[in-house]
């Protein structure tokens, strides 16, 4: 198994009905005529497809620590201490898998070729890995961290890396082993629930959009229905519809032809209600972003320092976002195609949430199929490694508090052009210069 081969533009068009992985014929980029034809056939979405707001207030991210009356600062400290202990144990005890290639030897491929490999070698007959792990290249440079479940009773330090073939031992694909006591390395339950609530509220105020080109987000529905709508069944057997799509919330895009300036992404500023909803969302997810920042700081300290410095120069929601990522892709109830995020700088971090079955993370170049349950974390080089989430299905019925079923996810990333532009910029440069569009308001002219 090797991926440092020359590119082949040929790919099979065979498909297997029922396979959780996307049919390869749906992985090719649509041509202009196909896109126009599909868009022309779509009517305006009706209000019946609107994302409903949640019922009541958001869950506190500190819920599991609020048995005693403590200040928010102490609650935050305890939450970070707990997460920090898990990360230390992960670094010490999680197994490492090594590829036979160096990252710079990874040759170009195509989404269709990678999807074909996944269909043949990582299909329904391969059980997904549920146990945390690390993946490195031949020079031991990190490629992927997966924070899933881990056996607390396994105190064997694992300094030696294993071949990729060692990923699928029974101990990594099942949680039914006698004597094992499992701990979750990902987001704690209260923080995850708050992320789900805050995102649903955001999408109820700022309707998500499905991209006109189906290259990364959005697979055509197998029943031929409207790609922009997810259907789910209520407990009484009735069917409900809900709009789905994606938001790109980026505090500083580099626009084509304007390489010396940054701009807030359109999803943030296109309407006054959108601006208000976005700010509320950032405030509601502040503690979650802080936990994810701790993950990056612990696992990738050098990358964290570089990201954080650039983040502080470009951040717009400075009071609501602790960093270190300036970009967030909010993927709401969409199926995902095989793709790379070519414009990302370095590592990104993704977290799924919701009520669903299926939805495994597939990374063909690492021969990895990960369980990727709600709250699990994938920290990886998304611009270098092809990846896809296998098809998923929503569970039946509304969840507590008015949460609707289905799979959603957040991807925290840093756009490479933005990162490069911010390299020599001082703290709060974006806020003080309107991203380079006006003079620095922090400098007083006498």
Token pair listed for 278: 């976005």
How confident is the model at residue 227, as a pLDDT? 73
Token pair listed for 428: 């709060």
Q: What whole-number distance in Å separates Cα of residue 4 and Cα of residue 37?
A: 38
Instruction: Write out the chain's pLDDT in tens, 446 residues.
Output: 444 433 333 333 232 323 334 333 333 344 455 555 555 445 566 566 889 999 999 999 987 655 667 888 899 999 999 999 999 999 999 999 999 999 999 888 899 999 999 999 999 999 999 999 999 999 999 999 999 999 998 888 776 788 998 999 999 999 988 889 999 999 999 999 999 999 999 999 999 987 665 555 556 666 767 778 899 999 889 999 999 999 999 999 888 767 778 999 999 988 888 899 999 999 999 999 999 999 999 999 999 999 999 999 999 999 999 999 999 999 999 998 899 998 899 999 999 999 999 999 999 999 999 999 999 999 999 999 999 999 999 999 889 999 999 999 999 999 999 999 999 999 999 999 999 888 889 886 65
Q: How many CB atoms lie within 10 A of CB 291?
A: 22
How confident is the model at residue 203, as a pLDDT? 96
> Tell me: domain 62-213+230-433, CATH 3.40.50.150, correct?
no
How confident is the model at residue 15, as a pLDDT? 29
Q: Per-domain residue ranges for the chain?
A: 62-213+230-433
How confident is the model at residue 68, as a pLDDT? 64
How confident is the model at residue 403, as a pLDDT? 96
How confident is the model at residue 34, as a pLDDT? 52
Check: CB of residue 333 under 8 Å from CB of residue 242: yes
> For 189-228, b where at least 16 C-beta lie within 10 A, e where not — what string?
ebbbbbbbbbbbbbbbbbbbbbeebbebbbbbeeeeebbb
Token pair listed for 26: 């749906």
């Amino acid at each position: 198994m090797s991926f440092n081969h020359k590119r082949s533009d040929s790919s099979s068009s065979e498909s297997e009905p029922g396979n959780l992985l996307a049919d390869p014929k749906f992985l090719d980029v649509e041509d202009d005529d196909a896109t126009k034809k599909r868009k022309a056939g779509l009517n305006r979405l009706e209000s019946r497809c609107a994302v409903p707001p949640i019922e009541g207030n958001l869950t506190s991210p500190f819920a599991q620590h609020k048995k005693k009356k403590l200040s928010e600062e102490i609650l935050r400290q305890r939450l970070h201490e707990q997460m920090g202990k898990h990360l230390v144990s992960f670094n010490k005890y999680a197994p490492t898998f090594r590829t036979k290639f160096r990252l710079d030897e990874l040759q170009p491929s195509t989404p269709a070729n990678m999807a074909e490999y996944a269909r043949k070698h990582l299909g329904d007959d391969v059980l997904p890995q549920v146990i945390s792990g690390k993946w490195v290249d031949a020079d031991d440079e990190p490629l992927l961290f997966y924070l899933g479940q881990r056996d607390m009773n396994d105190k064997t330090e694992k300094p030696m890396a294993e071949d990729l073939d060692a990923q699928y031992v029974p101990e990594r694909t099942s949680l039914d082993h006698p004597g094992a006591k499992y701990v979750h390395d990902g987001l704690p339950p209260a923080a995850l629930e708050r992320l789900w609530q805050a995102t649903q509220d955001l999408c109820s105020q700022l309707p998500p959009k499905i991209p006109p080109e189906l290259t990364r987000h959005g697979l055509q529905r197998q029943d031929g229905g409207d790609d922009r709508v997810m259907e789910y069944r209520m407990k009484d057997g009735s069917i409900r519809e809900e709009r789905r799509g994606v938001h790109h919330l980026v505090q500083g895009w580099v626009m084509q032809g304007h390489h010396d300036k940054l701009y807030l992404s359109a999803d943030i500023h296109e309407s006054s209600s959108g601006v208000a909803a976005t700010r509320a969302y950032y405030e509601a997810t502040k503690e979650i972003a802080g936990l994810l920042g701790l993950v990056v700081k612990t696992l990738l300290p050098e990358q964290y320092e570089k990201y954080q410095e650039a983040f502080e120069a470009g951040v717009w929601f400075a009071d609501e976002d602790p960093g270190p990522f300036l970009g967030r892709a909010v993927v709401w109830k969409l199926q995902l195609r095989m793709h790379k995020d070519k414009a990302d700088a370095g590592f990104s971090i993704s977290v799924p949430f919701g009520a669903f079955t299926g939805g495994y993370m597939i990374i063909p170049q690492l021969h990895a199929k990960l369980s990727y349950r709600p709250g699990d974390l994938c920290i990886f080089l998304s611009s270098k490694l092809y990846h896809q989430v296998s098809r998923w299905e929503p569970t039946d019925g509304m969840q507590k508090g008015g949460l609707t079923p289905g799979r959603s996810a957040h991807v925290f990333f840093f756009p490479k052009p933005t990162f490069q532009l911010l390299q020599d910029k001082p703290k709060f440069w974006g806020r003080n210069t309107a991203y380079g569009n006006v003079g620095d308001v922090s400098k007083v002219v006498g």
